[in-house]
Amino acid sequence: MSRELKEQLVRKATELGFDDCRITTADPPAHGADFERWIEAGMHGEMGYLARNGFKRVDPDKVLKNAKSLISLAISYHQESSQDNEPEARFARYSRYSDYHDVIAAPLRELTQWFDEQAGVENRSLWYIDTGPILERELAQRSGLGFQGKHTNLISRKLGNWFFIAEILTEAALEPDPPENNHCGKCTSCIEACPTEAILAPFQLDARRCISYLTIELKGSIPEEFRRAIGNRIYGCDDCLAACPWNRFARQASLMQEAHRPEFNEPDLLHLLSLDEEGFREHFRKTPMKRTKRRGILRNVCVALGNVGTREALPALENATKDSEPLIAEHAQWAIDEIKRRHHD
């Protein structure tokens, strides 16, 4: 029954648009102690939730009592076009869609409900889209979905870097797939690509230096030592992912395709800086960027203008120094000083 149910599960996942489906046990991850040491070193920065529920992340049984299996799923967000141009500003590729949590939730919920019906009326399962207290990348590697690269992100030999991970933790016992081995070899392209040297060594990331952390997770002022390195990125960073040679096997988004928001491929910095609260909510409605709030996005816009803006941006930035949000005003003044410095004013 376990093997037959597993085969049915993979077929159902494919029908629903998932790009890969693999199984592992619900045993604790082998590198839980490494995660705990990472937390103790403070490399998670202000992401306090990682520390608060860390005891669950190293033991899936504390997430779902009597869990026996973890179903690991991949969802591609690769787009064949508009990926390698040089726009005025950049959003991370995954954010150029309606919020992936919302898009993936419906098919993932359907898959979980279907699975519980097939497994038995008393079977319990929990589904997550990078929101659960699970060391999902390590368990995904153990399931064979991909392998953790030297940048610490998951790499699939058939999807490259460009995919989301979702998982279903379940009481049902399923035959596990063989784990994936690391296939980075001697390549260090991702480490060399990082603008802020956040990848301290292979498989060691200091989130406090990562541009994705600085532009999304950090709620306060961006340390000045990193502002120039952020360049024109206003939400996240793809540099370490884009450098990976396994991306030659990337697959066009399927489940995410209809949620693509091409208007975010080439954002206009001055337009973004002009947004009031209502304008911000409308512009970023149903996107992952809305959680960073206006103050966070406009903070990042000011940094980008400080790095790539011209004198034409100065009036808008001067106006932003009077913003009711001190965070925006501070970064606007920094941007003004940077533009004037570049143009020897």
Confidence band, pLDDT 50/70/90 cuts, at residue 87:
confident
Each residue of 130-184: pLDDT tens digit?
A: 999 999 999 999 999 999 999 999 999 999 999 999 999 999 999 999 999 999 9
Position 81 pLDDT exceeds 90: no
Dig out the tokens for 2 from the structure.
């376990």
Q: For the residues 198-224, what does the mean pLDDT come to?
A: 98
Please spell the DSSP secondary structure of 91-141, one letter per residue: E-GGGSBS-HHHHHHHHHHHHHHHHHHHH-TT--EEEESS-SSS-HHHHHH
Confidence band, pLDDT 50/70/90 cuts, at residue 343:
confident
How long, in residues, is the chain? 345
Count Cβ atoms within 10 A of the Cβ of residue 216 and give its class: 0-12 exposed, 13-18 middle, 19 or more buried. buried
Confidence band, pLDDT 50/70/90 cuts, at residue 1:
low
Dig out the tokens for 176 from the structure.
């596990």
Say if residues 125 and 168 touch (Cβ distance below 8 Å): yes
Say if residues 101 and 109 touch (Cβ distance below 8 Å): no
Each residue of 180-203: pLDDT tens digit?
A: 999 999 999 999 999 999 999 999
Domain boundaries, the chain: 2-90+99-170
Which one is the CATH code of 2-90+99-170: 3.30.70, 1.25.10, 3.30.40, 3.40.109?
A: 3.40.109
Which of 71, 79, 146 minimizes the C-alpha distance to 116? 71
Which of 79, 88, 13, 119 minimizes the C-alpha distance to 260? 79
Which of 285, 287, 343, 267 minimizes the C-alpha distance to 311? 343
Please spell the DSSP secondary structure of 182-228, one letter per residue: P--TT--HHHHH-TT--EEETTEE-GGG-HHIIIII--SPPPHHHHH
Which of 265, 330, 271, 264 minimizes the C-alpha distance to 296? 330
Position 298 pLDDT exceeds 80: yes
Q: With b meaning 16 or more CB within 10 Å and e meaning fewer, what string describes 157-174?
A: eebbbbbbbbbbbbbbeb
The answer, as to whether pTM is greater than 0.85, is yes
Position 300 pLDDT exceeds 80: yes
Pairing, β 90-91 against β 233-235: parallel
The Cα–Cα gap between 183 and 150 comes to: 10
The Cα–Cα gap between 132 and 126 comes to: 9
**CA 312, 315, 321, 324 torsion-angle sign:** negative
| Mean pLDDT for all residues in the chain | 95
Tell me what pLDDT residue 85 has: 59
The Cα–Cα gap between 242 and 160 comes to: 9
Residues annotated as catalytic are 130
Q: Is 266 helix (H, G, I), strand (E, B) or coil?
A: coil
Tell me what pLDDT residue 158 has: 94
Tell me what pLDDT residue 237 has: 97
Tell me what pLDDT residue 213 has: 98
Position 121 pLDDT exceeds 80: no
**Residues β-bridged to residue 156:** 160
Q: Is 327 helix (H, G, I), strand (E, B) or coil?
A: helix
Say if residues 76 and 32 touch (Cβ distance below 8 Å): no
Tell me what pLDDT residue 86 has: 66
More confident: 120 or 198: 198
Position 335 pLDDT exceeds 60: yes
Confidence band, pLDDT 50/70/90 cuts, at residue 84:
low
**Cα–Cα distances in angstroms (integers) from residue 313 to residues 87, 316, 321, in the given order:** 16, 6, 13
